[in-house]
């Protein structure tokens, strides 16, 4: 009898684990959405409808033997997964791959492709009526969104509010990268308001049209017709049972070993953003996690101890500011960090999109050529 594997979450790591174990195990992939969301390209799709087919993909063809079950998981225990109904899945191995929550439009609240596409279309229609947009949060997501919006809507004034004294406030960000990103955005007319948070959020939902005036704690007034919240992401680990919750850290990641099993558990694994591995949280890393977990489950199925171990990935930040602009930093083998310009950043972004995509049952339709903008 084949081993039973339940994978919780159908994002980058979860879909990769399910696909790679499909030939040797009875796999059930549990995911509340009706398809794969290629989050690496989500902000591009928010500004450009031509990217929707590349970002929202069906799970058709992902599994040949196993099945994808569209449902929520309400509780996980070693060997047992309880769904939103009374359904109970028993498993020899459980893999947690539930990722991180993000505000719209980095992720949508709609669980169907049609609903997500409709929400983005409505937002783009509303954006065409806007003179100004407020982006709350000057980290990578907020600045990437500002870049995508100013590329797609050239007359749109974007104001980024960051509570710290500078955008990209993380200590690991290279000054050269920060300077390049700031220069490229300000050359497009993006206004960066730093050093104080908003006193209160605008009185409308994110991504919805509505004129307002917001004020920062420093007394700066900002008038706009739409706003986005680009901070406050958190790992999704609310489903851990009363015993496993002891393995959840304050940041809501879970404690894992170098084999990516939960500490004290040899048949319960985690991949992607929810692990407490000290490394950047990105799609390519989730794929690396998947390879480690797949090998270790195969080892255990064969009666051997787990042989694969994960070493925290090197630092890497790819910050695209539209299809032909941006900057990146990449840690080298000797620990040094190289900062790359727009051309290399565009190449790395496309490489990430390709490497982390679902295997396509048919060739993808090419994305229409983008109008060129001078690079910094």
Q: In CATH, which superfamily holds the domain spanning 113-230?
A: FAD/NAD(P)-binding domain (3.50.50.60)
pLDDT value at 372 more than 60 = no
CA distance 174 to 65: 46
Provide the 8-state DSSP code for 330. Answer: E
pLDDT value at 362 more than 70 = no
Q: Give pLDDT tens digits for 217-262.
A: 999 999 999 999 999 999 999 999 999 999 999 999 999 999 999 9
**Ranges of CATH 3.50.50.60 domains, the chain:** 3-32+71-102+233-301, 113-230
Residues present in the chain in total: 376
pLDDT at 360: 52
- Residues with Cβ within 8 Å of 189's Cβ and at least 6 positions away in sequence, in order, are 150, 157, 158
Q: Give pLDDT tens digits for 88-115.
A: 999 999 999 999 999 999 999 999 999 9
Q: Are strands 3-8 and 93-96 parallel, antiparallel or unpaired?
A: parallel
pLDDT value at 128 more than 50 = yes
Q: How confident is the model at residue 357 (pLDDT cuts 50, 70, 90)?
A: confident
pLDDT at 257: 98
pLDDT value at 264 more than 70 = yes
CA distance 225 to 373: 26
Whether residue 328 contacts residue 362, with contact meaning beta carbons closer than 8 Å, is answered with no
pLDDT value at 157 more than 80 = yes
Q: In CATH, which superfamily holds the domain spanning 3-32+71-102+233-301?
A: FAD/NAD(P)-binding domain (3.50.50.60)
pLDDT at 368: 36
Q: How far is CA 225 from CA 78, 104, 190, 216, in A?
A: 48, 16, 16, 17
User: In the predicted model, what is the mean pLDDT of the chain?
Assistant: 94
């Amino acid at each position: 009898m084949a081993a039973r594997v339940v994978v919780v979450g159908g994002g980058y790591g979860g879909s990769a684990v399910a696909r790679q174990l499909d030939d040797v195990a009875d796999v059930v992939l549990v995911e509340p959405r009706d398809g794969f969301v290629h989050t690496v390209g989500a902000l591009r799709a928010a500004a450009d409808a031509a990217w929707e087919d590349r970002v929202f993909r069906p799970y058709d063809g992902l599994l040949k033997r196993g099945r994808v079950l569209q449902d929520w998981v309400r509780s996980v225990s070693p060997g047992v997964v309880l769904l939103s109904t009374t359904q109970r899945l028993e498993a020899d191995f459980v893999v947690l791959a539930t990722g991180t929550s993000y505000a719209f439009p980095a992720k949508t609240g709609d669980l169907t492709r049609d609903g997500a596409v409709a929400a983005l279309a409505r937002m783009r229609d509303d954006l065409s009526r806007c003179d100004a947009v407020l982006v709350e949060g000057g980290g990578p997501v907020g600045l990437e969104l500002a870049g995508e919006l100013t590329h797609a809507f050239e007359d749109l004034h974007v104001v980024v509010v960051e509570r710290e004294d500078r955008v990209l406030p993380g200590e690991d960000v290279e000054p050269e990268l920060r300077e390049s990103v700031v220069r490229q955005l300000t050359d497009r007319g993006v206004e960066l308001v730093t050093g104080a948070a908003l006193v209160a959020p605008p009185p409308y939902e994110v991504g919805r049209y509505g004129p307002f005036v917001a004020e920062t704690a420093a007394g700066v007034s900002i008038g706009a017709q739409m706003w986005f919240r680009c901070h406050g992401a958190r790992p999704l680990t609310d489903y851990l049972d009363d015993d496993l919750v002891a393995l959840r850290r304050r940041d809501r990641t879970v404690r894992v070993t170098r084999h990516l099993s939960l500490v004290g558990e040899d048949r319960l694994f985690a991949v992607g953003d929810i692990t407490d591995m000290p490394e950047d949280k990105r799609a390519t890393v989730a794929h690396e996690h998947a390879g480690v977990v797949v090998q270790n489950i195969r080892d255990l199925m064969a009666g051997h101890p787990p042989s694969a171990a994960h070493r925290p990935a090197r630092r890497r930040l790819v910050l695209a500011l539209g299809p032909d602009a941006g900057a990146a930093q990449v840690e080298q083998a000797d620990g040094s960090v190289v900062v790359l310009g727009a051309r290399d950043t565009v190449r790395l972004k496309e490489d990430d999109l390709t490497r982390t995509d679902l295997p396509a049952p048919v060739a993808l339709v090419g994305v229409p050529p983008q109008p060129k903008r001078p690079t910094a």
